[in-house]
């Protein structure tokens, strides 16, 4: 039985038995269901998308009631079923994010950080300045960034620049 946006559909899924003659360790026979790997919840991706989309914007019970009203589903979908599906999708997204984070370059370790022996402190600050002159036109707000670097073996160095001009 497969749930679609058009209702329940009976789909024949073959049961494939593994051959006990293959493999060096003579593994016991087991059954493989090809469709159960792709459709583990027995729901089409379209229906799963609608459940996730509506459950993201509505409480689970309201999403289930709306799906039952709009789609030609026999008994509808329970709110706990939608909740379980959303939790499963969340776990899949977390696994995807963790996999993507693992592919990122590794952070610099403390041993690799190079400290300067002659810089004592660095200070940075910014402020928005407003021009009260009404005749100036565009660019009434300006972001000024200023900084100071203090050295152990010399005079401090100052810097400042205009970061952004907003109209």
- pLDDT by residue (tens digit) across 137-149? 555 677 889 999 9
Residue 42, sorted as left (phi over 0), alpha (psi -120 to 50) or beta, turns out to be left
Q: Give residue-wise pLDDT tens across range 102-130.
A: 898 877 766 666 777 788 889 999 888 87
Work out whether the CA dihedral 72, 77, 83, 88 comes out positive or negative.
negative
Residues linked to residue 125 through DSSP beta bridges, in sequence order = 146
pTM: 0.51
Q: Where are the domains of the chain?
A: 2-103, 119-166
Condensed to tens digits (0 to 9), the pLDDT of residues 43-84 reads 888 988 999 999 989 999 999 999 988 888 777 788 898 999
């Amino acid at each position: 039985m497969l749930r679609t946006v058009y209702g329940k559909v009976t789909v024949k899924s073959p049961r494939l038995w593994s051959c006990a003659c293959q493999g060096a360790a003579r593994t016991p026979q087991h059954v493989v269901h090809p469709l159960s790997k792709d459709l583990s919840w027995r729901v089409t991706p379209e229906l799963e998308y609608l459940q996730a989309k509506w459950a993201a914007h509505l409480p689970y019970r309201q999403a289930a009631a709306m799906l039952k009203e709009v789609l030609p589903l026999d008994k509808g979908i329970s709110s706990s079923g939608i909740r379980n599906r959303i939790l499963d999708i969340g776990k899949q997204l977390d696994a995807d994010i963790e996999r993507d984070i693992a592919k990122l370059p590794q952070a610099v370790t403390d041993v690799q950080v190079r400290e300067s022996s002659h810089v004592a402190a660095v200070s940075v600050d910014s402020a928005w300045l407003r021009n009260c002159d009404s005749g100036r036109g565009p660019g009434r707000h300006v972001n000024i960034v200023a900084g100071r670097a203090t050295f152990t073996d010399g005079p401090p160095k100052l810097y400042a620049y205009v970061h952004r001009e907003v109209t």
